[in-house]
Amino acid sequence: MPTSGSSRRGFIKTMGMVAAAATCGRADTPKAQDYKPQDQKKLTQTAARYQDQPKGTESCGSCPYFVFPNSCVLVEGEISATGWCPMYTTFSPLDRGAHA
């Protein structure tokens, strides 16, 4: 870090110009409320390797992605509560970093 007074003043002046340039035109920048969320694309049952029977004690009905009575947040189409796919989990989507 520079130690002389003139070097500090030069550094501060330069940083001020950089900050001004970086914020120039910010009034036209879109705001968060201007963005529209996109629908999450669901996987096809084939792509998700969905099966309509459980795998051992694991079944869609006990997975947090299952939506009663017969759908899934991640997989398209009609999903059986007794079905299963490799995305099966017992963790909440929030625990896995997903958005509510």
Query: Does the residue 31 lie in any domain?
Result: no
pLDDT tens profile 36-65: 556 678 999 999 999 999 999 999 999 999
Cα gap 96→35, rounded to integer Å: 25
List CB contacts of 58: < 8 A, sequence separation 6 or more. Answer: 84, 88
Domain hosting residue 55, numbered range: 40-100
Q: How many residues make up the chain in this entry?
A: 100
pLDDT value at position 7?
76
pLDDT value at position 90?
87
Query: Does the residue 25 lie in any domain?
Result: no
Token readout for 57 is 């004690």
Query: Does the residue 63 lie in any domain?
Result: yes
Query: Does the residue 98 lie in any domain?
Result: yes
Domain count, the chain: 1
Residue 95 confidence class, pLDDT cut points 50, 70, 90 = low
Query: Does the residue 73 lie in any domain?
Result: yes
pTM over 0.85? The answer is no
Residue 35 confidence class, pLDDT cut points 50, 70, 90 = low
Token readout for 72 is 């899934």
Query: Does the residue 29 lie in any domain?
Result: no
Query: Does the residue 65 lie in any domain?
Result: yes
pLDDT tens profile 68-91: 999 999 999 999 999 999 999 988
Q: Provide DSSP, 2-50.
A: --SHHHHHHHHHHHHHHHHHHHTTGGGSPPGGG--PPPPPPBPTTTTT-
Q: Please tell me which residue, 56 or 18, carries the higher pLDDT value.
A: 56
Query: Does the residue 53 lie in any domain?
Result: yes
Task: Output the domain CATH number for residue 53.
Answer: 4.10.490.10
